[in-house]
Structure 1
Amino acid sequence: MITVTDNTSTAVDSPESRRYNSIKRWLGVSDFGLGLLLLVVLLATGWSGTLRDLALRGASSNYSLAVFLYVLLLMVISRVLGFPLDYYSFRLEHRYHLSNQKLRSWLWDEFKGILVGLVFATIIVELLYLLIRHVQHWWLAAWALFLGLFVLLAQLAPVVLFPIFYKFEPMENEELRRRLVLLSERAGTRVRGVYKWKLSEKSKKANAALTGLGATRRIILADTLLDHYSDDEIEAVLAHELGHHVHRHIFKSILVQAGITLAGFYLVNEVLRYAVERGNMFETMADFANLPLLVLVVTVLSFLLMPALNAYSRFNERQADRYCFQSVASVAPFISSMNKLADQNLAEKTPSRWVEWFFHSHPAIAKRVATAEAWAKAH
């Protein structure tokens, strides 16, 4: 999806934009820190074992049911502790006039998110401990299984997950639809439809995406984009998204994630083995009370890799931008769309170098706009 972290050549961020983005970052850091603290406390105090025992008693020692109850208890604790930050984030969007969502609608989305999260977490954890119990090199089997689940989820998300939270309908602007489909065909990808995403029911921000794989491949355009942007600007936005397809960024990203996931599962296996054999923290690796340790290892690894992964993502975004420049008649609509998105989404146009380096998966818009202007002068 489009992520705006942009500047224009002469852009200066407003104090409002600076404050909003600073608060958003601190909310993210606080949420990460709270999750990390919860995992450490569960392990250090032995409370994870207590929760396991409660789950086993509640399930009459049925292992699979106990795993489900344990996951449920962890999710309830996590969501209760994180609710103040979630609610503050909801209020923040209203304070800066970026949200149209009512409290009841937000609470309903939170509830649906908990249910969806519980379903996925239960499936993943049940499969994981099934492999740990019955497969010698469980981490290799888990890697292959999770890679398949990742691809399946990418395919099903537009038709199964997104509609749980948002409404979609076929786009009515036939001329724009024709232009976008033609642009997609020139990029060598077939889309199964162009859809209007009713984002305005919840947000004043604009967004667009080329989502799905194979039969679920589709273009989704927020109504907040369709209502305020010209056809040329929307075409430029999609051309950027198609650049990811042309450069095979999805396939390459899957390969990168596959490598990281393989290393992650191997590391988890070694840490769990140490915790059982030398740390005397758990009786066996199949003791699901070690789940917080597993999640802790994955969380720390993800944190350490975040700057490198963001750098790789920014490289991909620059490639997609260059494809956009080559695909449209003029880069002017790209420049205007970037500036309008930054203003509409209250994006930080000139983030500090360290903020961009650590937090941003997209180059600052000032750099993107400057690159577009340089392209226009050279061509």
Structure 2
Amino acid sequence: MEPLFTPEQLAEIHAYHQPYYIRAAVEPWVRLALSALLLGVLVRPVYRGATAAAAALERRFGAGLRKAPVSRAFFSAMDRLWGESGWGTAILFALFIDVATQLLYAPANVYFYYVLEHRYGMSNDTPAGFAWTWFKGGVVGAIALTALVVGLYGLARRVRRWWLVLGVPVALLMLVASALDPYRARLYFDQSPLPEGPLRARITALMRKADITFSDVMVEKTSVTSKRIQAYFAGQGPTRTIVLNDVILQEFAEDEVLAAVAHEAGHVNEPRWPGRIASSLAVMALLLLIDGLLRLSARRGWWGIQRPGDIRTLPLVSLVVFLLISFAAPVSGVLSREREREADRYGLKLTGDPGAFRRMLVKAARVNKMDPEPPRWLVLKGMSHPPMGERIAAVDTP
């Protein structure tokens, strides 16, 4: 059997992944140190700066914006939701911390996601394209953070059981949010329908065999930034879309593309409702925990807080969420890896072509420079997929 990598390729892959492994080991401690700095030193001065900035903006632009028809309605709605003045300070406080954190991580992000990717031939991105993608991500993140501040802290200031008022619609939204997946992806990459031809016909026949309905097969043009292959299903029900990036069409033969689609089809057949319901309940529990943190902070008077719903608790809430995610990652990783194994078994059964399935995995490993045997601690930390060496060995085992 042909080896997965030559010794030279394997050495290059190890050199490529080593910085990422170091980052995975160090980053949690950096995050904890940053949280300690924020909570121990920076909350008060950042809050004072946000208060001063909000007051200056109000003096400069407030009178005019509160009279203009559109902005007047916005200001009125925000005042009613917040219950009093101060929402501008809250939003600026959150954004100041977010921007400072982004700037702190910027050198590492540029190195890992641009320099290192180019050094090992994994990226086609230009400096302008990289900056534009980063900017779009920052804008989307800022909008999400603003919505969090207004929704969570605005309700927490005015409603006794705010966690229930906010949690129920969020939980319900999570149950159907995946229907929007095909549209979220298009924020970053252009997509176009896969042209009519043998490949589309074979994918359609394979999905008919699997009894999976879908709306279209789309080609996502990721090669402008990345040389990685990718295939996935987006959406559900009437919005379900099969997405193949243009790199996989360049690198894979038709039977190998079918094997990749068959693997992804295995995820469609997973029992998803139990997981979605559990996730929704977990969100409710998290919001209840946050409510307890807000009230505890007010009782103890931390950082000068006198009432629940004070934005100065945001770094504490972020730290607790980070710790919960970190502790849950090993368990969620075990579940995710088993889902991937089951999707491999399903794909093999659906195609009935273990040779094509093996070639698909081998090419994916080579093109994406996957470490066939990553460190065991990294796997246990919460890797979502089994190591590629393990997946290929499972195909080779009768």
- Asked if these proteins are the same fold (TM beyond 0.5), I'd say yes
Unaligned runs of 5+ in 2: 59-83
In the alignment, structure 1 residue 171 sits paired with structure 2 residue 194: yes
- Per the TM alignment, residue 200 of structure 1 is displaced from its structure 2 partner at its CA by 1.0
Residue 310 (structure 1) aligns with: 333
Correspondence list, 1:260-299, <5 A: 260-278=282-300, 280-281=302-303, 282-299=305-322
Alpha-carbon distance in structure 1 between the residues aligned to 2:87 and 2:208: 48
Residue 239 (structure 1) aligns with: 262
SS at match of 2:232: strand
Amino acid at match of 1:251: W
Moved more, 140-149 or 86-95: 140-149
Amino acid at match of 1:244: H
Contact 2:174 2:280 in 1 (8 A): no
Among 52, 55, 75, the alignment partner of 1:54 is 52
Amino acid at match of 1:14: L
- Per the TM alignment, residue 51 of structure 1 is displaced from its structure 2 partner at its CA by 4.3
SS at match of 1:265: helix
Alpha-carbon distance in structure 1 between the residues aligned to 2:167 and 2:146: 17
C-alpha distance after superposition, 1:244-297 (max 9, x if no partner) = 11122x434323322432332222222222222135442112111111111111
In the alignment, structure 1 residue 147 sits paired with structure 2 residue 147: no
RMSD between superposed Cα atoms in Å: 2.4
Residue 80 (structure 2) aligns with: none
Cα distance change, pair 179–280 in 1 and its aligned pair in 2 (3 A): same
- Per the TM alignment, residue 111 of structure 1 is displaced from its structure 2 partner at its CA by 0.9
Alpha-carbon distance in structure 1 between the residues aligned to 2:49 and 2:197: 56
Cα distance change, pair 243–8 in 1 and its aligned pair in 2 (3 A): farther
SS at match of 2:251: coil
SS at match of 1:227: helix
Higher Rg of the two aligned structures: 2
Amino acid at match of 2:329: M
Cα distance change, pair 144–48 in 1 and its aligned pair in 2 (3 A): farther
Residue 244 (structure 2) aligns with: 221
Residue 4 (structure 1) aligns with: none
C-alpha distance after superposition, 1:312-332 (max 9, x if no partner) = 101111111111111012111
Alpha-carbon distance in structure 2 between the residues aligned to 1:179 and 1:157: 24
Residue 76 (structure 2) aligns with: none
Percent of aligned pairs sharing the same letter:
28
Unaligned runs of 5+ in 1: 1-6
- Per the TM alignment, residue 203 of structure 1 is displaced from its structure 2 partner at its CA by 0.8
Cα distance change, pair 361–69 in 1 and its aligned pair in 2 (3 A): same
- Per the TM alignment, residue 212 of structure 1 is displaced from its structure 2 partner at its CA by 1.4
Among 23, 36, 39, the alignment partner of 1:43 is 39
Residue 207 (structure 1) aligns with: 230
Amino acid at match of 2:23: L
- Per the TM alignment, residue 131 of structure 1 is displaced from its structure 2 partner at its CA by 2.2
Alpha-carbon distance in structure 1 between the residues aligned to 2:5 and 2:365: 14
Contact 1:98 1:204 in 2 (8 A): yes
C-alpha distance after superposition, 1:67-116 (max 9, x if no partner) = 33223222221221111011111100001111011111101111111111
Correspondence list, 1:1-379, <5 A: 14-45=10-41, 46-54=44-52, 56-58=54-56, 60=58, 62-89=85-112, 90-151=114-175, 153-159=177-183, 161-248=184-271, 250-278=272-300, 280-281=302-303, 282-374=305-397, 377=398
Alpha-carbon distance in structure 1 between the residues aligned to 2:362 and 2:351: 18
Amino acid at match of 2:250: D
Alpha-carbon distance in structure 2 between the residues aligned to 1:286 and 1:318: 44
Amino acid at match of 1:170: P
Quick one: higher RCO (CA 8 Å, sep 6+), 1 or 2? 1
Cα distance change, pair 214–121 in 1 and its aligned pair in 2 (3 A): farther
Contact 2:294 2:309 in 1 (8 A): no
Q: How many pairs are equivalent?
A: 367
